[in-house]
Amino acid sequence: MRIVAGQWRGRRLKRPGALKGIRPTSDRLREALFNILGQRFVDGVFVDLYAGTGAVGLEAASRGSAHVVLIEKNHSAQALCRENIARCKAEHCVELQCGSAKNPGPLPLADVVFADPPYVQPSQISFNSLINVPIAVDGCWCLELAADATLPEPIVGVAVLLDRVYGGSRLIIYERAKS
């Protein structure tokens, strides 16, 4: 597992090993995600609700996000995030908040919010946690699910910008619905 692009391109990150319940977002999906997002998060705020290894948030920081917030409740995963933040020397722009994605507490207004919850968690719960995080006017919410997961029920004011399958994962990007 490595940082795909940006200032830390090629930097190896510590993998979860035998840590139960942690399934890192693949390099391929991370590369696709950031290619799709383009400049949307550069110089802005990126929030990762189920940080796991911290790879997605560190990728955002490497590619120019000014402030990254990693949310993780698993103590072993928190230690993994801390180690990966240190490997990238990213303490100046990456913040780890120890807590639940379902109730993360106050967060800065985000340009991009990403969630890669455990695949066993119902997709509607994951979607609700995701869209409860406030985003900037041109911001978006990104949800990674199992490729065969039941899609969350749409809600008024939120539109699907993209829905693609990458191997065993599905990436859905949401934005505010255009009036």
CA distance 141 to 99: 19
Please give the backbone phi and psi of residue 122, each rounded to the nearest 5 degrees, phi first: -55, 135
Could you list the beta-strand ranges (E) of 39-131: 45-48, 67-72, 94-98, 110-115
How many CB atoms within 10 Å of residue 27?
14
The per-residue pLDDT for range 35-89, each reduced to its tens digit, is 999 888 899 999 999 999 999 999 999 999 999 999 999 898 999 999 999 999 9
The arithmetic mean of pLDDT across residues 117-140, rounded, is: 83
CA neighbor of 24 nearest in space, from 63, 73, 77, 65:
77
Domains in the chain: boundaries? 27-176
- pTM as predicted: 0.92
The arithmetic mean of pLDDT across residues 140-151, rounded, is: 90
Identify the pLDDT of residue 136.
93
Architecture in CATH of 27-176: 3-Layer(aba) Sandwich (3.40)
Question: At 120, is the pLDDT very low, low, confident or very high (cuts 50, 70, 90)?
Answer: confident
Chain mean position to CA 32: 13
